[in-house]
Amino acid sequence: MPETLYIVIAVVVVLAAIIGLYAGSKKRKSDRFRLDESTTPVITDEEARAQDEADAAVGTLDPDVIEDDVSVDEAPSVPTLERPESVPSRLQRLRARLARSGSMGKALLSILSRGDLSEDDWDEIEETLLAADVGLEASDELMENLRTETKVRGTTDPEVVREILREQLLALVNPDMDRTLDTVPGVGDDGAHHPATVLVVGVNGTGKTTTIGKLARVLVAEDKTVVLGAADTFRAAAADQLATWGERVGVDVVRSDVEGADPASVAFEAVAEGRRQEVDVVVVDTAGRLQNKAGLMDELGKIKRVMEKQAPVREVLLVIDATTGQNAMSQAKVFSEVVGITGIVLTKLDGTAKGGIVINVQRTLGVPVKFVGLGEGADDLAPFDPEGFVEALLS
Ligand SMILES: Nc1nc2c(ncn2[C@@H]2O[C@H](COP(=O)(O)OP(=O)(O)OP(=O)(O)O)[C@@H](O)[C@H]2O)c(=O)[nH]1
């Protein structure tokens, strides 16, 4: 009888020790990374064990980079989720704002309608194009084509002139470029779920974090599931900002609680979380301070390499502030040299008459503008549509 009692006591002690160790390891994990969850997770023991196994497998990929695991914080109470505006409706609504950025189109129309243009008129056309940031090369090409077309058709009929200008501007904006954002998840060679991953880069202040919040809303409006990664660990508030965006639409945000934490680790954990949750898309924010090209290359290169250990990076979006003109163009060149850009997001197009930068940046980088930011409102981001843009310029 006493032996049985000893055995029972021994089993209880061993069980208590195991539970204590498990709880301790969970706490250590949460010291470093945090998953801001927007909904209350219900995880069974079996799922938790499977997750731990998956974590362990992922952790073996690169022990030098992965310093710890993601853990799930106590979930906040379920907020009232917002339903983001549908994509077609936002395009309709933002058209008027797009038109404001297009005073160039109207100015060109009025000069071209004078008919029988003098060299002074052509100089005026050139000045208008350059002032709208179309860029020298594209301006020359447009003027050449306009000269030929207006001569061939030999008319000052406003409708015909408008049509000529519409055709020529559209050709420059290039409607044939593929502007879709790759958001279709896949399956890796090992049979694991691979979310479509999107890395967002750009100089601070261009609107990266805001754009990622808005982009999450575009994706949610299209019924995609999303995880965000707050790898801008340079500015502490950026992670809070992203968490607020995520909470509003039910999107989880992976972040670090350690100030100045390794951004690559956060990016890695975000994709790992996207794999675990089997979401469609993971979008990762970065700091992108332009201290120098080598530093930027190191940081972004490392983030991208580390993300790719989990799933291929499908899109690298460069965020550019449309109001910053030539400065924006030189930033764009540096970023495209250090990391392969697949698309451009032009922000603050509502606050500028320099809509011509769309043409300039696409030609310089050979990469399409995929989204435009047209205001500070939560749904003021729209997929870029060349026809709609040119119509807005001329309306
Ligand atoms: N008018 C207007 N403002 C915008 C747009 N996009 C972003 N902004 C504003 O630009 C400011 C900077 O945006 P952030 O998202 O904090 O910029 P960031 O690039 O993430 O900056 P860092 O985190 O410092 O790297 C904010 O006040 C945004 O509201 C836009 O399309 N139109």
Mean per-residue pLDDT, 87-114: 81
Q: How far is the CA of 66 from the centre of ligand 1 (A)?
A: 30
Task: With beta carbons less than 8 A apart as the criterion, state whether 311 and 322 touch.
Answer: no
> Which atom of ligand 1 lies closest to the CA of 319?
19
**Per-residue confidence (pLDDT) for residue 88, from 0 to 100:** 85
Same structural domain, 97 and 124 = yes
Distance between CA atoms of 88 and 72, rounded to whole angstroms?
Answer: 36
Same structural domain, 120 and 256 = no
In a domain, 52, yes or no: no
Among the residues of 44-178, which ranges form H helices?
45-59, 87-100, 103-112, 119-131, 136-153, 158-173
In a domain, 381, yes or no: no
Same structural domain, 153 and 249 = no
pLDDT tens profile 138-175: 999 999 999 998 888 877 788 888 899 999 999 999 99
Rounded to two decimals, the ipTM of the complex is: 0.94
Q: Is 348 annotated as a binding residue?
A: yes
**Per-residue confidence (pLDDT) for residue 156, from 0 to 100:** 77
CATH code of 301's domain: 3.40.50.300
pLDDT category at 106 given cuts 50, 70, 90 is: confident
In a domain, 35, yes or no: no
> Which atom of ligand 1 lies closest to the CA of 202?
19
**Per-residue confidence (pLDDT) for residue 103, from 0 to 100:** 75
Nearest to 395 by CA among 68, 109, 31: 109
Scan for tokens 């940046």, then name that residue.
361
Is 50 exceeded by the pLDDT of residue 250?
yes
pLDDT category at 102 given cuts 50, 70, 90 is: low
Same structural domain, 196 and 328 = yes
Q: Is 165 annotated as a binding residue?
A: no
Write out the two tokens for 383: 């997929």
Domain enclosing residue 207, as ranges: 183-341
Query: Count of residues for the chain?
Result: 395
Same structural domain, 215 and 279 = yes
Write out the two tokens for 348: 């603050």
| pTM for the predicted model, two decimal places | 0.82
Same structural domain, 241 and 114 = no
- At residue 222, the 3 state secondary structure works out as coil
Q: How far is the CA of 373 from the centre of ligand 1 (A)?
A: 9
Write out the two tokens for 387: 């026809």
- At residue 380, the 3 state secondary structure works out as coil
Please report the DSSP string for 5-24 in residue order. Answer: HHHHHHHHHHHHHHHHHHHH
Amino acid, res. 274: G
Same structural domain, 140 and 106 = yes
Please report the DSSP string for 309-352 in residue order. Answer: TTS-EEEEEEEEEGGGHHHHHHHHHHHHHHS---EEEEE-GGG-
Task: With beta carbons less than 8 A apart as the criterion, state whether 373 and 98 touch.
Answer: no
Number of domains in the chain: 2
